[in-house]
Each structure stands twice: as C-alpha cells, then as structure tokens.
Amino acid sequence: MEKQFFLNHSRIDVYFKQSKDDFVVTEIPLYEFSGEGEHMILKIRKKDLSTWDAVQILSDTIGCKSRDIGYAGLKDKNALTIQHISINKQYKEQIEKFEHPKIKILEITYHNNKIRVGHLKGNKFFIRLKRVEPKDVMKLENILGQIATFGMPNYFGFQRFGINGDNYLKGKAICEGTLKEKNRKLKQMYLNSYQSYLFNGWLSKRIEMSKLVNAFEPNEIAQKLNMTVEQVKELKSQPHPFKVLEGDVMSHYPYGRIFFAEDLESESTKFNLQDRVPTGLLAGKKAKLAIGEAWKIEEEFNAETIVDGTRRFAWVFPSEISSNYSEERNHFELEFTLQKGCYATELIRELVH
C-alpha cells in the first residue's frame, strides 16, 4: 500500500539504516517507581536484540519463566534501546551475577507491581542520517519545523507487517476462516497487522482528501468528494491541513475521552492547537464507529474481525524536536519524543520522502 505523504516537498536523498549506532530509543516510564516492593525494576540497555529476545535470554539465565518478566513495550531489534523490565526480587542474586554482551543492566530499583504492556508514557529517539548534502540541511530543518507545528500522520510503520510486508494477509485469512494459526502470539500478530493495514489505508485516503481540499477551489472538487460546495468551503477554512469531518470520532490529546465532532469550526481550531485529534478505526468488535460524513470514508476500511476493535489517534505531535548537522561528516542528527505506539521511522519517512 502506498501511503500518502502529508507534506508536499520533493524527496531528499540521505542514507539511513536502523542500527545500534544510528538509532537510539530511550523509554519514558508511565510513572515513577516507588523504590520498594516485590518486583525488581531493571533499567537495561540492549543492542541488536528484540525485547522478546532479551526477555528470553534473561529468563533462560536466571531460571524464571519468560511470562513472569514484565515489560511496557516492544523495542526495535536493530537499535540501541533503553527500557525497563520487572522481575520478582526472589531472583536478586541471579540478577546481580548476570552478564551478557548485548544486555547491560544500568540501574536496579523496586516497585510494588509488575510492569505491564502499555505502562509507558512514550519514547525519546536519537537518529542519525548520513550522506546529507549541505544544500539540504535548511530544507530538512524547515520540514522539521512544519512537523513541530502541525504534527504528523500516525501511520503504523513497516515493522508492523513482517519481513515480507504481508502479515496482514494472514490476519485477513484468519478472519475469513481460510487460515488456522495455532500459535497464539503469531495469530494475534497477524490479526493486529490486518487492523493496522486497514487503518493505514483509511488514513492515507483522508490525507488525500485533505490535500485536494487544500489545493483546489471548492466548486472544482465538490462533486469529486461527493460533498456540497458549502461543505468543502467549511473544510477549506479549517486552520490545520488535515481536515476534520462531521462525525469524526475525536479524542482529547494526549489522552482523554472520545466524542463525535459536531461543531467543526471549534473542533478543528482545538485540533490545530494540539488539544484534540481525530481518531481512526482499528476494526473489530466493540469499536466506536464514526458517523455522518466521516463514516462515508471509514466504512470502506471497516471489516469484520475476530478481535476487539478500538480507536487510534490519526495524528500525533512529536515534541522536544532538535537537530544538528556535521558538515565534516555529512551527518544530520535529530532528537524527538513520541508518545507510545508511534513509529519514529514514520517521522523519517515524512521528513525525507
């Protein structure tokens, strides 16, 4: 699937490959650890290992079951990552003796409960782009400025779809009953990939629609969008380039309740102020569906799945964005923070097209 870019600049030629030297992820915990309790909280630094790999190594080494080790989120394999995991303090002696060339324990503290998936606020990223020509530096900085102002699409990254990019097809087949998968973890991964594929398709369609509204006069595209000229005029007057539709399921940002968009002028203004955002559907049971104009597009990307559905922010606002250029090495380095569930590689994709 070709995903629509949000911004309109031409491609910038750089070299980027995820590696422990050029891609660093630091987890931001959801809460402060109490310093006491039954669970050891290990702050670990790992390289060239997925979170599952690291958990399995720790499990095999200290003699506990992997399911008894808690973690807040899955971190990239091809990176240097810093994250927190929890292990019952009965394994304190084994942990103190633990050594591994790809895992280093940086700190140990304690807490009264196990870390669960989702127990994180976000992630801070350091990324190095190479072979960046001096003529492109100002362009990159200007694009980062636009992302800081308007945010970016909250696409799922390529990592969600497997090595060959086709995990969503297995998820679709499972939903349709033409494929059986006995491995529970693999089955869930395939189903999530199918939900993500549908979400990306919807978001790309909405960005395409928004770009048409921004680029043409209302009377030129009203019929193409199956809207009245007045409806298109209202969309065009919205301050943010991504247009809010009547019936969108909105959410307060960065967290809060969801509700339907009714007063488009008010909702689009607050969206532009980063106070709330439209959400997209992760198809499944129990999910809240859009209504009105928003449903006309969402309906195309709704599907019956065998998992529970939910909503996902369509748009996110990276924070703490900074950059530095080394003309001697032609390296462009940037840092930024994203909330949990967002893909840093999508910011790079939008940046360099």
129 band by pLDDT with thresholds 50, 70 and 90? very high
Angle CA(271)–CA(199)–CA(193) in degrees, nearest 5? 140
Angle CA(130)–CA(135)–CA(141) in degrees, nearest 5? 75
Domain annotation for the chain: domains and CATH numbers: 23-122 (3.30.2350.20), 130-352 (3.30.2350.20)
Catalytic residue chosen out of the listed positions 53, 60, 68, 76:
76
Mean pLDDT of 128-154: 97
| pLDDT at 268 exceeding the cut of 90 | yes
For residue 273, give every residue at least 6 positions away whose Cβ sits within 8 Å of its Cβ, in sequence order, or none.
Answer: none
pLDDT digits (tens, 9 = 90+) for 99-120: 999 999 999 999 999 999 888 9
pLDDT digits (tens, 9 = 90+) for 297-314: 999 999 988 889 999 999
Tell the residue number behind the tokens 């102002």, with chain if given. Answer: 149
Q: State the CB neighbour count (10 A cutoff) for residue 334.
A: 22
Rg (CA), the chain: 22
Cβ(298)–Cβ(206) below 8 Å: no
How far is Cα 129 from Cα 275, in angstroms, rounded to an integer?
31
Q: State the CB neighbour count (10 A cutoff) for residue 169.
A: 17
| pLDDT at 159 exceeding the cut of 90 | no
Q: State the CB neighbour count (10 A cutoff) for residue 10.
A: 6
What is the enclosing helix (H) or strand (E) of 208?
A: helix 184-215
> What pLDDT is attached to residue 73?
87
> What pLDDT is attached to residue 178?
93
- Please state whether 92 falls in left (phi above 0), alpha (psi between -120 and 50) or beta: alpha
Share of the chain above pLDDT 90, in %: 88
Q: Please give the torsion angle defined by the CA atoms of residues 295, 301, 306 and 309, in that order, rounded to the nearest 10 degrees.
A: -50
How far is Cα 99 from Cα 84, in angstroms, rounded to an integer?
17
Cβ(107)–Cβ(32) below 8 Å: no
Tell the burial category of 108 from Cβ atoms under 10 Å away from its Cβ (0-12, 13-18, 19+). middle
> What pLDDT is attached to residue 304?
84
> What pLDDT is attached to residue 306?
86
pLDDT digits (tens, 9 = 90+) for 210-252: 999 999 999 999 999 999 999 999 999 999 999 999 999 999 9
How far is Cα 38 from Cα 124, in angstroms, rounded to an integer?
28
Average pLDDT, the chain: 94
Tell the residue number behind the tokens 């909105």, with chain if given. Answer: 250
Amino acid symbol at 20 = K
| pLDDT at 1 exceeding the cut of 80 | no
> Can you name the residues that pair with 114 across neighbouring β-strands?
none
Look up residue 130 and give its DSSP letter. Answer: B
For residues 240-279, one letter each, b for 16 or more C-beta atoms within 10 angstroms of the residue's C-beta and e for the rest, the string is bbbbbbbbbbbbebbeeeeeebeebeebbbbbbebebbbb
> What pLDDT is attached to residue 256?
87
> What pLDDT is attached to residue 305?
87
> What pLDDT is attached to residue 108?
95
At 164, list the tokens.
């060959």
For residue 114, give every residue at least 6 positions away whose Cβ sits within 8 Å of its Cβ, in sequence order, or none.
Answer: 39, 70, 86
Share of the chain above pLDDT 70, in %: 100
Q: Is 53 a catalytic residue?
A: no
At 306, list the tokens.
């065998």
| pLDDT at 45 exceeding the cut of 80 | yes
Q: How far is CA 308 from the centre of its chain?
A: 19
Q: Please give the torsion angle defined by the CA atoms of residues 315, 317, 322 and 328, in that order, rounded to the nearest 10 degrees.
A: 0
Mean pLDDT of 310-338: 97
pLDDT digits (tens, 9 = 90+) for 48-81: 999 989 999 999 999 998 999 999 988 888 899 9
Mean pLDDT of 147-155: 98
